[in-house]
Amino acid sequence: MLGLALVTLISAAAIFAPWIAPHDPSAANFLAARQPPAWNPDGSLTYLLGTDQLGQDLFSRIVYGARVSLLVGFLGALTAVSLGVTLGLLAGWFGGWTDRIISSFANLLLAVPYLVLVIVIATVLGRSLVNVILLFGVTSSPVFIRFARGEALRLKQLAFVEAARGLGAGSRVIIPRHLLPNIVGPLATLATFEVSAMIFYEAGLGFLGLSVPPEVPSWGNMLSLGRRFLTTHPWMAVFPGLAIAITTLGINLLGDWLRDAIDPRSQEGG
């Protein structure tokens, strides 16, 4: 249940950011630049986790940064699931050329090392939140294409689908009414892990300076800035990274719990 608690905490931080953050995340205060965290002898309680080189409050920026991470994670995963499941079910159900074209698309995206693919597309598209969500949505869809295709192939042979077909139901009825509901369970687990993977990759892209615009407070952008001051002011990079690790931990624990709840057979591994 630690997972649910962590995810709730981070989501609350994202939603209620203006009320939680003690400072405007973009307010610079040059008199208080590069302050260490409050528990350091040189720190102050005004800036709980210290400040960056512009004197912006790190705690406030981390709270606001949760917004970018969660938006990219959830909307990106949603895009990947919708696109992947639609294409995968069509491929599995119709077979033939439909399958060949869709499967080649998936195989092609999987052939290029994921991070390289993401970096190249991000460079072409340019830095914006919508671009980043679309980028992750499309490049992560092959996982769901493969999953949905396999499930469609399996379900196609089962008696209830055959019965529906015998009663005269067409693909327009069978795919959304008979196939889709039967894959929702395992799909939910797969999608949960995808959310945490995307948060991970978005921050990595931000770290390379290729995600949302630099003035937007995001964990990746903070890391990208913090690494320049790593040897003298390590907290500037340590805290945003910790936020990423805690978030992905929460979501992964939630995913594990979801998998065990939906499929009791998977419990044997613990």
Give the nearest distance from C-beta 204 to other proteins in angstroms.
Answer: 6
Candidates 7-15, 38-46, 80-88, 232-240; binding stretch for other proteins (CB under 8 A): 232-240
In our burial notation (b when 16+ CB lie closer than 10 A, e otherwise), range 91-101 reads bbbeeeeebee
Q: Where are the alpha helices (DSSP H) in 114-268?
A: 114-125, 129-139, 141-156, 159-166, 171-174, 180-207, 219-226, 235-262
92: tokens are 């599995």
**Exposure of 34 in the CB half-sphere (CA atoms within 13 A):** 10
Q: CA-CA distances (angstroms) from residue 162 to 70, 170, 173, 247?
A: 41, 11, 13, 44
Site for other proteins, residues 180 to 209, rule: CB under 8 A = 196, 200, 203-204, 207-209
The contact mask relative to other proteins for 101-140 (x = CB under 8 A, - = no) is ---x--xx--xxxxxxx-xxx-xxx---------------
Site for other proteins, residues 67 to 96, rule: CB under 8 A = none
Candidates 15-23, 89-97, 176-184, 235-243; binding stretch for other proteins (CB under 8 A): 235-243
Nearer to other proteins, 179 or 222 (CB): 222
Is residue 153 within 8 A of residue 90, CB to CB? The reply is no
**Exposure of 221 in the CB half-sphere (CA atoms within 13 A):** 22
Give the nearest distance from C-beta 163 to other proteins in angstroms.
Answer: 30
Give the nearest distance from C-beta 18 to other proteins in angstroms.
Answer: 27
Q: Which of 18, 176, 214, 234 binds other proteins (CB under 8 A)?
A: 234
Nearer to other proteins, 67 or 233 (CB): 233
Rounded CA separation 213/123 (Å): 13
- Judged by the rule CB under 8 A, the positions of this chain that interact with other proteins are 104, 107-108, 111-117, 119-121, 123-125, 196, 200, 203-204, 207-210, 223, 226-227, 230-231, 234, 237-238, 241, 244-245, 248-249, 252, 268-270
